[in-house]
A and B are shown apart, each in its own frame.
Chain A
């Protein structure tokens, strides 16, 4: 009988980690629907980006207040996770505060003490975040695309963190009272700089009630963490994991450098080669169908772009600096990423159901991202610069424009005029190329 809690703990732990693993595999499968990318170049630059931008949060602090709060929550979150080791060991083997029996007392007290201070700071940070979202109503959290689920998602994450931190502190507070009572199992260990102020609330309670509170908080805390872990896949909060690979695969070249399409290069070279035979049969073995130009659905995008869609935490820094969005246009770079993820999830569910993707009469273009949004982009790179985790909404916009122009000839009329001019007289305006040097003799 005495092993029942340990067995239950084992089952909960395996179920929690197992379901998460299942979803991570689904996530990887979905990302692999995208085009392969070669990121074998600039390895040292990529790692340096990971350390600087992801680990070092260098782009978060561009906005000092949310940046600093974010660092506190982030550091707190990571360091408090050391405590998870102890919790898991205790849970599996029925020990209590096992690290205190292994580590020197002073070190253990220092650890628990710092966990408590961090937990308190995280709590404060999260409350300020909640106030910024819901009372101060920071504009970027109230944009058009932030209605419904994205809005609740943002708050649910904050509530989760508040509850987890409170449970951790309550657990320690009850533990102190039990230690004071000299209860069995509750050796006098740990330093409690924060929960000592909660402990008096529990004074005078019986040992049995204190044990119930301590155990209750302990169980809710660990179960809460496992639930939160599994919540990630359904939430924008995936960034706590994916920010790192996303920054690694992020841009290492100047932002102004757009990729040249190799398939187009081949065609243009053939067009300019007087000896090319336009009617030549494809070479033996070339069975591959000609690729589509640009992107109309998530499968046409690169894996980096799809990873970016899962990484996006909808902070809206991109949208808040987008010149089109600032001036009231429909375009919001954040919505481009959210739409891409929503569509990718839809495609993923389609695959879950049918084994492989069955056309559903929908695509990313038009069903999610509107043409009006795509044509409003000035390619100014402000969104790319602003993203704290190196996502590039602009690259998706560009590839969808390529699809519109090269597959559908569906550019706005005025752009067709400009492009015809470039084609005919090598300038976007209707001037003769022979007049290009006229300025030399004008006054």
Chain B
């Protein structure tokens, strides 16, 4: 983004990569897949790069409002400094926090989840998606809590899957009733409390019941939890966990 600013240009959209998308090996693949799609569709976009910081969601949900607001204000300073208007992110946590909680602290942007953004590209005819290798495949979609219940977006990811001509199989608990993967509320950074089962195992079992070949999701943290769940169930050769952006990128063989 600094380069854009130096040239006095303004990108169409800012891609807020997020911590997982920047550092987690699995999530980085989602980042790259999404960037491939953006490049392929000739979208003029920028990233903050080293000027980006954690949006503060895990700190806030863990109860550390100070740390959250520090992070938020720093990001807002940077974003406002560049005059950013529109943000897209591949992480529902960044999406929710920046979209819902930054306005109260002086950060007002149009924020889109990457599935919403891709859907809008399709509608505008700037992106074409064909089923390719996913045509007819049995696929279930795991609703990320911070995209679904938190912000009522259930259709954008499903619309994209429909475009891939997949056979969409819903889990018993989906959409409004979707079961959390177990990562939210800063749980991703700690061991779970004592119980009879881990949440990601419960959710993975439910996904496996659908006999899907792919578990699709739209969140790097759900990705981690579901991938771990699939490993724990020794189902790696039966089912793959993929982000919708990865599916679209690989369907088009980008």
Q: Which A residues contact B (CB, under 8 angstroms)? A: 253-258, 260-261, 264-265, 267-269, 271-272, 293-294, 321, 323-324, 326-331, 372, 375-382, 384-385, 398, 400-406, 411-412, 414-415, 417-419, 422-423, 426-429, 431, 433-439, 442
Q: B185–A378 contact, CB under 8 A?
A: yes
Q: A256–B193 contact, CB under 8 A?
A: no
Known: A381-B150, A422-B56, A436-B17. A327 touches B62 (CB 8 A): no
What is the CA–CA distance of A437 and B31 in the complex, to the nearest angstrom? Answer: 11
B156-202 CB contacts (< 8 Å) to partner A: 173, 176-180, 182-199, 201-202
* Cβ distance B187 to chain A, nearest Cβ, rounded Å: 5
What is the CA–CA distance of A431 and B21 in the complex, to the nearest angstrom? Answer: 13
* Cβ distance B194 to chain A, nearest Cβ, rounded Å: 7
Interface assignment of B96: CB less than 8 Å from any CB of chain A:
yes
Q: B177–A321 contact, CB under 8 A?
A: yes
Closest residue of chain B to A411 (Cβ to Cβ) is: B62
Known: A419-B64, A436-B49. A326 touches B54 (CB 8 A): no
Contact residues in B for A375 (Cβ distance below 8 Å): 190, 193
B55-76 CB contacts (< 8 Å) to partner A: 56, 58-67, 69-71, 73-74
How many interface residues does B have (CB within 8 Å)?
A: 69
Contact of B145 among A376, A378, A417, A429 (CB under 8 A): A378
Q: Which B residues contact A (CB, under 8 angstroms)? A: 17, 19, 21-24, 28, 31-32, 47, 49-50, 52-54, 56, 58-67, 69-71, 73-74, 96, 100-101, 104-105, 145-146, 149-152, 173, 176-180, 182-199, 201-203
Contact residues in B for A401 (Cβ distance below 8 Å): 61-63
Known: A260-B104, A414-B191, A437-B49. A268 touches B73 (CB 8 A): yes
Contact residues in A for B196 (Cβ distance below 8 Å): 327-328
Contact residues in A for B192 (Cβ distance below 8 Å): 327, 329, 376
Q: B150–A256 contact, CB under 8 A?
A: yes
Contact of A293 among B65, B180, B193 (CB under 8 A): B65
What is the CA–CA distance of A255 and B100 in the complex, to the nearest angstrom? Answer: 10
Q: B180–A378 contact, CB under 8 A?
A: yes
* Cβ distance B159 to chain A, nearest Cβ, rounded Å: 20
* Cβ distance A384 to chain B, nearest Cβ, rounded Å: 8
Q: A258–B101 contact, CB under 8 A?
A: yes
Q: A382–B189 contact, CB under 8 A?
A: no
Contact of B189 among A256, A258, A414, A435 (CB under 8 A): A414
Q: A439–B31 contact, CB under 8 A?
A: yes
What are 26 A-to-B residue pairs whose CB atoms are below 8 Å?
Answer: A256-B100, A260-B69, A260-B105, A264-B69, A268-B73, A272-B70, A321-B177, A327-B197, A328-B194, A377-B185, A398-B63, A401-B61, A403-B63, A418-B186, A419-B59, A419-B64, A422-B58, A422-B59, A426-B53, A428-B188, A433-B50, A433-B53, A434-B50, A435-B50, A437-B49, A439-B22
Which of A253, A256, A438 has its CB near the most chain B CB atoms (within 10 A)?
Answer: A256
Q: B23–A427 contact, CB under 8 A?
A: yes
* Cβ distance B39 to chain A, nearest Cβ, rounded Å: 12
Give the 5 A-B CB pairs with smallest separation, nearest first. Answer: A256-B150, A328-B196, A401-B63, A379-B185, A426-B53
Contact residues in A for B70 (Cβ distance below 8 Å): 268, 271-272, 423
Q: B190–A415 contact, CB under 8 A?
A: yes
Q: B69–A294 contact, CB under 8 A?
A: no
What is the CA–CA distance of A422 and B71 in the complex, to the nearest angstrom? Answer: 8
What is the CA–CA distance of A329 and B58 in the complex, to the nearest angstrom? Answer: 21
Contact residues in A for B24 (Cβ distance below 8 Å): 429
Q: B67–A323 contact, CB under 8 A?
A: no
What is the CA–CA distance of A382 and B145 in the complex, to the nearest angstrom? Answer: 8
Contact residues in A for B49 (Cβ distance below 8 Å): 436-437
* Cβ distance A272 to chain B, nearest Cβ, rounded Å: 6
Q: A327–B183 contact, CB under 8 A?
A: no
Q: B180–A382 contact, CB under 8 A?
A: yes
Contact residues in A for B186 (Cβ distance below 8 Å): 415, 418
Contact of B195 among A328, A406, A412 (CB under 8 A): A328
Contact of A422 among B50, B54, B197 (CB under 8 A): B54
What is the CA–CA distance of A272 and B61 in the complex, to the nearest angstrom? Answer: 22
Contact of B64 among A376, A406, A427 (CB under 8 A): A406
What is the CA–CA distance of A404 and B61 in the complex, to the nearest angstrom? Answer: 12
Closest residue of chain B to A256 (Cβ to Cβ) is: B150
Contact of B185 among A253, A268, A272, A380 (CB under 8 A): A380
Known: A380-B184, A411-B62. A257 touches B23 (CB 8 A): no
Which of A381, A402, A406 has its CB near the most chain B CB atoms (within 10 A)?
Answer: A381
Known: A331-B193, A422-B71. A415 touches B62 (CB 8 A): yes
Contact residues in A for B28 (Cβ distance below 8 Å): 439, 442
* Cβ distance B190 to chain A, nearest Cβ, rounded Å: 4
Other CB < 8 Å A-B pairs besides A419-B58, A429-B23, 8 of them? Answer: A258-B60, A323-B179, A375-B193, A378-B184, A382-B145, A406-B63, A428-B188, A428-B189
